[in-house]
Structure 1
Amino acid sequence: MPIRCTTDARLALLLLFALLASAVARAQAPPPTAVPPPDLAFIDTGIENASPLWYERGDDGAYRVHLLYDHERDSPNRAAGHIHFRMVGRPGAPITLEFVNLDNVWNGQPGSVAGELKTVALSADGTTWTTVPTDTLPGNRIRVTVTMPAGGVLHLARMQPYRLSDLDRLVAKARASAHAEVTTIGATVQGRPLEIIRIGRGDEPRRVFLRARAHPWESGSSWVMQGLVERLLGDDAEAARWRGQFTVYVLPMANKDGVARGGTRFNVNGKDLNRNWDRPVDQALVPENAALERWLEGMIAGGRKPDLAIELHNDGRGLLHLSRPPVPGLDEHLARMARLEAILRERTWFTEGHTEGAFRNSGTLGDGWLERYGIDALVHELNANRVEGRKAFTSAALWQEYGAALPAVFEVYFRDR
């Protein structure tokens, strides 16, 4: 008797044969080729102190990193130069980065960061850093080619970063020391506390004030300050001698908000903290400077006016900026600054020199404190790329070495005053 298949049975058999044929085909096919991971999978700007940016891959395979500008309030001035991010990619892959948007405007005049962006710092773990040179291209562009390390992660920065968390550790160390006192003098626009670290009793015959990080990208200035503070907190006889000769007041990070958001130059209200010191400070727009102004005027009222004030910065030259406002005793001030420079050359790796001629940069702390308060004040730029006195690229270690040498400079400077 013939076997009769229903329609459903025939469909089931056809499906079974199709599945068997598919299984045989898969078994005979070559294994799929694994797709290699991309050379650069991602640029991470979510890390602490990261610079705001966007990026794209060009036709030549280079990744173009577009830095975003800070803008100054009611001014054409703009700034982009802070670089700090984390890359994730294929271990061993060469990555070429091209930095653009480097056409800044300073004091109303067009300029470019490209001419002074000669190095960047690299780290596989965000802790140990190496500085390498960059290449300058036409059109105010900078290129650098790096190799992704074995872990597939590489940090890149303009200089070794100094973040809020680094400052918190330094302030905690000062608070715990019997040789220091930490005073909160005010707050930033966004409410972050502004601390001054005093080292010494406060009744010593001479006083030095130093401020760092008015411009957020200039991390070398913070490393110098850390080296100074840690040296003066030492329990050795030399540090004790210095603490008995002069008091040091340190404001180690003036623009905390800017550092936190990865800014380059201005506070969050679009104001430059190293400008407008030739007039009373606007509390609403620049609370960071208003707090410092109140502190300074309180010091003066109490008979403790600083004998020397140094505003620390980074740039591509590293000069001492000696402003020349029309004030009584200007020649004597410049003679004291020449003496300070000579001691710096003798006791530290400083070699760069100072501004010449009738240089004046109105409104800087160095200019304004001299003009308004009669304080021997200057802006000390530090070369962001190279320590010529050590024939080496910059590093946190060399910045801290410089800071640790400053107490000996102050000792000699005050000896005959």
Structure 2
Amino acid sequence: MKITSNFDSGNINVISAEAPLDIQLEINRDNESEFFQWFHFRLESTPFVEHKLHINNLQNSAYPEGWDDYQAVASYDRQTWFRVPSSYQDGQLVIDFEPECHHTYFAYFAPYSYERHLDLVYWAQSHDACRVETLGETLDGRDISLLCVGEPGDEKKKIWITARQHPGETMAEWFVEGLLHKLLDDEDPHAAALLSKAVFYIVPNMNPDGSVRGHLRTNAKGVNLNREWQTPSLENSPEVYHVLNKMHETGLDLYLDIHGDEALPYNFVAGSEGIPSYDERLATLEAQFKQALLTITPEFQDEFGYPKDEPGQANLTVASCAVGEAFKALAYTIEMPFKDNANLPDPHYGWSDRRSYQFGQDTLAAIVNVVDNLR
């Protein structure tokens, strides 16, 4: 029996693996950080034998409540990821599984590899409407890639979308993949309507270093990028530094920052009602956008989410709040679950890469309903 995580986004520490029913594991912390929750590893063992994989010390993980009612995902071909029986008690997640093949991959959510990220960026570049711009480099020397979609024009709205500030939230890049496939479809009416009125600036992966390293929440230096937007620096957060500079260069009328939430089994949005410049105009735009999503897809809801900030009490280190305040623009954090959508449960796949992809396409359609009112 062999367990390894020596690959892109891999993360696990093997305590002991002497018998199939007594496999003891722990998750490694993000580099220079106390955050840990993301796991991704491969089990090589005997098929059709019951295995019990115990992931320990989870009471000290970043979001212990995220393990309640959580089911891990597994794959034989690294293409289709399905849920496997998992139970959580006293800081330990137990995955009870009888593999059908000699090799099985396990992960916290369907991974989105760095190679797939590169494939997405340069697939997009092959379309006439899209060009790729390298804004700078990460601390590990990877490109910070921006996709510019549409023909620039002073009269056009500037729509910005960023994803995977927190690298373990892989559903965010699946979301962007779906959105891009719709936006770059020459025969899609939503795309045509939007590109006649707007230019899109899309960062599919804000944190490629953390993604490759198998981090949950931080970059190579252990910095949480979504707390850097007030004073980003080249030393600690070049990813935010370069993106924010580009936003100021292009201007911005709408900002969506795409994330995943460990604990809440719903899709929801978090607005910027606590920023100093929040007014009736922004409140109306928020309501229009949410109503459009509610109409377009039953995957979205507006009952469960984060508590709203009191007026003037927004955390301006957070991307959606910082950008909303800086540009006086509609700015939302979009959250998807690691577990399942409790309103539309799927016992076999839970919330998944494919559903995230579709939610990205649905969100693009919702933008049509607000684009004329952005300024």
Supply the distance in 1 between the matched residues of 2:69 and 2:139 (Cα, whole angstroms).
30
Change in 2 beyond 3 A, CA 1:104/1:188: farther
Q: Does 1:262 align with 2:200?
A: no
Supply the distance in 1 between the matched residues of 2:25 and 2:69 (Cα, whole angstroms).
14
User: Which residue number in structure 2 is paired with residue 372 of structure 1?
Assistant: 326
Cα contact 1:340–1:413 (8 A) shared by 2: yes
Cα contact 1:311–1:365 (8 A) shared by 2: yes
**Deviations, residues 309-340 of structure 1 (Å, cap 9, x unaligned):** 11111112243222443413344323322221
Q: How many pairs does the alignment contain?
A: 361
Q: 1:183 aligns with which of 118, 133, 139?
A: 133
Q: 2:226 aligns with which of 274, 286, 289?
A: 274
Change in 2 beyond 3 A, CA 1:60/1:309: same
Question: TM-score, normalization: structure 1?
Answer: 0.81
Q: Does 1:99 align with 2:55?
A: yes
Cα contact 1:72–1:272 (8 A) shared by 2: no
User: Which residue number in structure 1 is paired with residue 246 of structure 2?
Assistant: 295
Supply the distance in 2 between the matched residues of 1:116 and 1:379 (Cα, whole angstroms).
24
Cα contact 1:97–1:144 (8 A) shared by 2: yes
Q: 1:284 aligns with which of 235, 238, 241?
A: 235
Supply the distance in 2 between the matched residues of 1:332 and 1:55 (Cα, whole angstroms).
55
Range 127-136 or range 342-351, more displaced: 127-136
Q: 1:86 aligns with which of 17, 32, 42?
A: 42
1:196-215 to structure 2, matched below 5 A, reads 196-203=146-153, 205-215=156-166
Change in 2 beyond 3 A, CA 1:340/1:179: same
Cα contact 1:274–1:365 (8 A) shared by 2: yes
User: Which residue number in structure 2 is paired with residue 43 of structure 1?
Assistant: 3
Deviation of 1:365 (Å): 0.1
User: Which residue number in structure 2 is paired with residue 310 of structure 1?
Assistant: 256
Change in 2 beyond 3 A, CA 1:88/1:185: same
Question: Residue 225 of structure 2 aligns to a residue in which SS?
Answer: coil
**Deviations, residues 197-217 of structure 1 (Å, cap 9, x unaligned):** 122112262222111111111
Supply the distance in 2 between the matched residues of 1:200 and 1:215 (Cα, whole angstroms).
27
Between structure 1 and structure 2, the one with the greater Rg is: 1
Supply the distance in 1 between the matched residues of 2:357 and 2:214 (Cα, whole angstroms).
22
**Deviations, residues 149-196 of structure 1 (Å, cap 9, x unaligned):** 1x3110111111101011111111111111211111111001100111
Supply the distance in 1 between the matched residues of 2:122 and 2:260 (Cα, whole angstroms).
25
Supply the distance in 2 between the matched residues of 1:403 and 1:114 (Cα, whole angstroms).
23
**Deviations, residues 341-386 of structure 1 (Å, cap 9, x unaligned):** 1111111221254433436444110111123332322221111111
1:12-411 to structure 2, matched below 5 A, reads 41-57=1-17, 61-70=21-30, 78-104=34-60, 112=64, 114-115=66-67, 118-137=70-89, 139-149=90-100, 151-203=101-153, 205-238=156-189, 239-277=191-229, 279-299=230-250, 305-315=251-261, 316-317=263-264, 318-348=267-297, 349-353=299-303, 354-358=305-309, 360-392=314-346, 393-411=350-368
Question: Residue 155 of structure 1 aligns to a residue in which SS?
Answer: strand
Range 238-247 or range 350-359, more displaced: 350-359
Change in 2 beyond 3 A, CA 1:372/1:240: closer
Supply the distance in 1 between the matched residues of 2:129 and 2:288 (Cα, whole angstroms).
29
Question: TM-score, normalization: structure 2?
Answer: 0.89
Cα contact 1:345–1:351 (8 A) shared by 2: yes
Change in 2 beyond 3 A, CA 1:356/1:196: same
Q: CA RMSD in A?
A: 2.2
Supply the distance in 1 between the matched residues of 2:302 and 2:82 (Cα, whole angstroms).
23
Read off the aligned partner of 1:345 and give its amino acid letter.
Answer: L
Cα contact 1:179–1:199 (8 A) shared by 2: yes
Change in 2 beyond 3 A, CA 1:117/1:247: farther
Change in 2 beyond 3 A, CA 1:117/1:84: farther
Read off the aligned partner of 2:106 and give its amino acid letter.
Answer: L
Change in 2 beyond 3 A, CA 1:330/1:256: same
Question: Residue 240 of structure 1 aligns to a residue in which SS?
Answer: helix
**Deviations, residues 88-136 of structure 1 (Å, cap 9, x unaligned):** 0001111111222324476xxxx52544570221111212221235212
Deviation of 1:71 (Å): 5.7
